[in-house]
């Protein structure tokens, strides 16, 4: 739930495919995922495919 709320709060419009905008979300996820870059990338791949974001 915390990841969902963070993504909805932090995502810029049109973030898909725009590295700078994607990085905003990834930076917000880092502390939630214990600063694990690999886990952030794994979760972000799911976020990108999710139509509600």
Average pLDDT over residues 23-37: 97
Rounded to 10°, the helix 19-29/37-49 angle is 120
Which pTM does this prediction carry? Answer: 0.90
In this prediction, what percent of the chain has a pLDDT beyond 70?
Answer: 100
Tokens found for residue 52: 């509600």
Average pLDDT over residues 16-24: 96
For residue 28, how many other CB atoms are within 10 A of its CB?
A: 16
The CA-based angle 6-28-22, given to 5 degrees, is 100
Torsion angle, alpha carbons of 8, 4, 37, 50, to 10: -80
**DSSP helix/strand/coil, 16:** coil
């Amino acid at each position: 739930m915390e990841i969902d709320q963070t993504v909805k709060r932090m995502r810029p419009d049109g973030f898909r495919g725009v590295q700078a905008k994607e990085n905003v979300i990834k930076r917000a996820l880092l502390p939630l995922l214990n600063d694990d870059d690999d886990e952030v990338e794994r979760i972000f791949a799911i976020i990108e495919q999710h139509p509600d974001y």
